[in-house]
Amino acid sequence: MKRLVIALILLALIFGSSCLSLLLLERDLAEIGSFAARLREESPSAELEKESEELFRLWNEKEKLLVIFVRHDVLDEVTVLMAELPSLARHREYGHFYSGLDVILARLDDLLDSARPTYRNLL
């Protein structure tokens, strides 16, 4: 009987930690995604560089926790893309800037989709 209780407690802990990690991942990626989407809608201006630096700062802050849940190669790719944004805005290369934001938004959506326990992901 003790083994059954211990097994049920362990199962509940695993389920709880999985749900908590998914909630944290969704919250952080949604925050970064909404900031990037808002930045995507802005017109080219001098403020774009400051805003993209703020986005990169937010990404670096959230990445410390995301490293626990997400593959590092995907995080490294997004980090490189985020790091390029302020320089692109500074040099007024707005086409590359906005295409970089589109890639970042797509990668964030892919990260979120791959983390959710859907039928496709479980198989």
For every residue of 55-101, which 3-state class applies, written as one string?
A: HHHHHHHHHHHHHHHCCHHHHHHHHHHHHHHHHHHHCCCHHHHHHHH
The mean-pLDDT minimum among 12-16, 42-46, 53-57, 106-110 falls in: 42-46
Residue 116, pLDDT score: 79
Does 32 reside within a domain? yes
Cβ–Cβ < 8 Å for 61, 107 = no
For residue 32, the enclosing domain spans: 25-122
Does 1 reside within a domain? no
Does 113 reside within a domain? yes
Residue 104, pLDDT score: 94
Taking the CA atoms of residue 61, residue 66, residue 71 and residue 74 in that order, the dihedral angle to the nearest 10 degrees is -40
Residue 80, pLDDT score: 93
Does 100 reside within a domain? yes
Each residue's pLDDT tens digit, 66-96: 888 788 888 899 999 999 999 998 898 888 9
Instruction: Give φ, ψ of 42 to 5 degrees.
Output: -75, 150
Does 16 reside within a domain? no
Does 107 reside within a domain? yes
Return the biggest CA–CA distance within the chain: 69
Tell me how many domains the chain contains.
1
Does 9 reside within a domain? no
pLDDT, the chain, mean: 88
Does 47 reside within a domain? yes
% of the chain residues with pLDDT over 90 = 46
Each residue's pLDDT tens digit, 107-117: 999 888 887 77
Residue 73, pLDDT score: 86
Whether the full predicted model's pTM is greater than 0.85, yes or no, is no
